[in-house]
């Protein structure tokens, strides 16, 4: 069982889900990188599985053989910190 990346609804589906499976609550594709336990925006190709092929659209259904539902599907903040704000924090505003 997994959680939809889009609406956070609990997904009751077979494991692994079929490529065309959709969330009953919002209609989003289920077998997507954003629902996978290997999805990591900080890694190369945004995937922690080194053998997985590159998937460009992380929120669209794909054919990845390594898909496993994520245990915790909390949103990840992928915005980079403001460099000037960091410098001011470190050295003060002079």
Cβ-proximal residues to 1 (8 Å cutoff; 6+ apart), any chain: 10, 11, 12, 13, 69
pTM assigned to the model: 0.69
pLDDT per residue as tens digits for the range 50-74: 999 999 999 999 999 999 988 765 5
DSSP the chain: -EE-TTT--EE---SSPPTT-B-TTT--BSSSGGGBTTB-TTSGGGBS-TTSPP-S-TTS----TT--B-S-------PPPPHHHHHHHHH---
Residue 4 has pLDDT above 50, yes or no: yes
């Amino acid at each position: 069982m997994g959680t939809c990346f889009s609406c956070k609804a609990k997904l009751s589906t077979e494991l692994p889900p079929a490529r065309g499976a959709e969330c009953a609550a919002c209609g989003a594709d289920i077998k997507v990188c954003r629902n996978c336990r290997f999805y990591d925006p900080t890694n190369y190709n945004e995937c922690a599985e080194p053998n997985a092929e590159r998937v460009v659209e992380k929120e669209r259904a794909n054919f990845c053989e390594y898909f496993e539902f994520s245990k915790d599907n909390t949103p990840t903040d992928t915005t980079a910190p403001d460099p000037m704000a960091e410098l001011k924090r470190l050295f003060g505003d002079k």
